[in-house]
Amino acid sequence: MYFLRALLAALPLFAQFDLVIANGRVIDPESNLDAPRHIGIRAGKIAAISPRPLKGAKTIDAKGLVVAPGFIDLHSHGINNASNEYQAHDGVTTALELELGVSDVKRYIKERTGKAMLNFGTTASHPASRMMGLKELSAETAKWAASDDLQRGVKEQGRELQLKDEEEYSKMTFLLEQGLKEGALGLGVMPAYTPGSTRSEIYRVYQMAARWRVPIFTHVRGWTEEGIQEAVANAAGTGASVHIVHLNSSTRGTIPSMLEMIAAARKRGIDITTEAYPYTAGSTFIESALFDDDWQTTLGITYNDLQWQATGERLTKQTFEKYRKQGGVVILHLMKPEWIKMAMSSPFVIVASDTMPYAPGAHPRGGGTYSKVLGEYVRELKAATLIEAIRRMSLLPAQRLESIAPAMKNKGRIKVGADADLAIFDAATVRDTGTYQTGPQFAQGIPHVIVNGVAVVENGKTVPGVFPGTAITGNYGTR
Ligand SMILES: [Zn+2]
C-alpha cells in the first residue's frame, strides 16, 4: 500500500495540482498573511494554500522568495506584447489602459483575446469620443478610426475645439456608452490634452459617469492644483467615482497639500483614488497640448530638461520646434525626488506605471516601476513596508475596479479561489535596471511571474509562445 501510494505520487499524472509554488514567503495584503506556504494551482486558480508540501504536475521552488499577488497596473499605454514583456519582468500580471482608453472597445478586446501575455482591459475614451462627435472633424476622425491612429489623432487635432450643440454632445455620449456596453472599465478623461473641453463639458461627463455608475480615470487639467480641485469638485458635485492618474506629475510641488485634500475628500465619503509612478521624469508626445502654453514658466524647466526619446538628446529651442512639428515622444525631467518619496509613502497612493508603448529609449518606467518601488522605495529608502507596497500594487488597484468589474474580487489577493496571478521576487535583490539612457530593461530579482496559472516569466526568462492573459471587462452592458 505504501509502495503504491509512493508510486502514484511520483507520477505527474496523479498530481493534485497543475502547478505548485513551493516554499515561498507568501504575502497576501487582504488577510495580512506573511508566512511560508505552498500554493497549489489548478485550472488557472489558486486551489490550496498550505503549510505542508503539495504535489503538482510541475513545481516552482520559491525558497527565499516572496510570493505576492501579481501587480495590477491601472495605467499602461503599452497595450501590445512587446510592451507587456517588459512589464511581465517587472511583476505585472494585469496591464490596463484606463487613462486614454481606446476608441473601439469591441475591436480592441477581440484583437487581444487569446493573444495577450498579460490580462488587459480599457476605458471608453472621452478624447476619442468627443473628437468623433465634433462635426467639423468627422471626415478626419473617420479616417483615423479606420486606420487605428485615433489615439494619436486626439493628441493632434481638434483639441482646442469646443462642443457646440446638443447634437455633438449626444454623439459623444452615445459613443462613450457604446464603449461601456462593449466592456469598457469606465471613462478615460484627460482635459489636459483636450483644452477645448470646457469645465461644463467635463462636469457633464462626470454626471454621465455618476448616472451610469462607472468610474472616471483622469489626467486632470493643467499641472497643479486647479485640475485636482476640478476633479474633486466634480466628484463631490455629481457623486461620480474618480481616479486621478499620476498624481506626482499632475501636482509636482503642490503634492503635500493635494495629498491632504484627497485624503480629506476620501474621509468625507467621496470615492476618489489616485496613483503615482516612482520616477522624477514624465513622458508624453511633444506635439500634445501640454506644450501649447508657456510650459517653461509653468513647470519651471527649460528645453534642456526635455529628452528626445528617439536619440536620447536633450533639446534646444531649435530642436524643440523642429520635433514639435514632426511629432514624437519626449521625456520630461520635471520632478523632485522628495515629491516622489512623499507619494510612495502615502498609504492610499496606488502604484501605476504610465508605461509608454515600448521603443528603444522610451521612459524606463515601462519595465521598472514595480521593481523600483520594491528595491529603492521599500528596501533602501524605507518609504513603505513591503506588505504596504504590495497592497498598493495589487489589492488597491483591484478594489478600485470591483464595482464595475466584479471579477477583480479574484485578483490582487492570494486566497483559495483567486486567479493564479503571482509575482515571485527576491526582496533582498529586486531592482529596476533601465535608465533614461537605456530605456526599459528587464528588472532583476523577479524570477517568476504567473498569469492565470501559466508562467510568463520563469527563472528570469520570458516563456515564449504563451498568451494566458484574459480580458478584464466592465459589467455595464450586463447589469
Ligand atoms: Zn497622463
Cα(76) to ligand 1 centroid in Å equals 10
Cα(110) to ligand 1 centroid in Å equals 25
Cα(224) to ligand 1 centroid in Å equals 13
Average pLDDT, the chain: 94
Cα(358) to ligand 1 centroid in Å equals 16
Are 57 and 76 spatial neighbours (Cβ–Cβ below 8 Å)? no
Cα(244) to ligand 1 centroid in Å equals 9
> Hey, what's the cell of 134?
465634433
User: pLDDT per residue over 348-370, tens digit each?
Assistant: 999 999 999 999 999 999 999 99
Cα(216) to ligand 1 centroid in Å equals 13
Cα(400) to ligand 1 centroid in Å equals 18
Cα(279) to ligand 1 centroid in Å equals 14
Cα(145) to ligand 1 centroid in Å equals 21
Cα(66) to ligand 1 centroid in Å equals 31
- Ion ligand 1: residues, CB within 5 A, are 219
Measured distance CA(425)–CA(389) in Å, rounded = 13
User: pLDDT per residue over 205-239, tens digit each?
Assistant: 999 999 999 999 999 998 889 999 999 999 999 99
Model confidence at 10, pLDDT cuts 50, 70, 90, reads low
Q: Which residues contact 128 (CB under 8 A, 6 or more apart)?
A: 101, 102, 103, 150, 151, 154, 175
Are 74 and 350 spatial neighbours (Cβ–Cβ below 8 Å)? yes
> Is pTM, for the whole model, over 0.75?
yes
Q: Which residues contact 370 (CB under 8 A, 6 or more apart)?
A: 71, 90, 91, 92, 351, 353, 393, 423, 443
What residue ranges define each of the domains in the chain, with the CATH number in brackets? Answer: 70-298+329-405 (3.20.20.140)
Residue with cell string 483636450? 194
Handedness of CA 93, 99, 105, 107 (dihedral sign): negative
Cα(23) to ligand 1 centroid in Å equals 40
Measured distance CA(451)–CA(252) in Å, rounded = 35
Q: What is the DSSP string of 39-86?
A: EEEETTEEEEEESS---EEEEEE-TT-EEEEPEEESBB---SHHHHHH
Quote the percentage of the chain above a pLDDT of 70. 94
- Tell me the Ramachandran region of residue 442: left when phi exceeds 0, alpha when psi lies from -120 to 50, beta otherwise: beta
What does the pLDDT read at residue 259? 97
Element (H, E) at 294: none
Cα(465) to ligand 1 centroid in Å equals 31
Handedness of CA 85, 90, 96, 101 (dihedral sign): negative
Model confidence at 414, pLDDT cuts 50, 70, 90, reads very high
Are 36 and 24 spatial neighbours (Cβ–Cβ below 8 Å)? yes
Closest to 374 measured CA to CA, from 422, 432, 414, 421: 432
Cα(99) to ligand 1 centroid in Å equals 7
User: pLDDT per residue over 129-171, tens digit each?
Assistant: 998 889 888 777 766 665 556 566 655 678 889 999 999 999 9
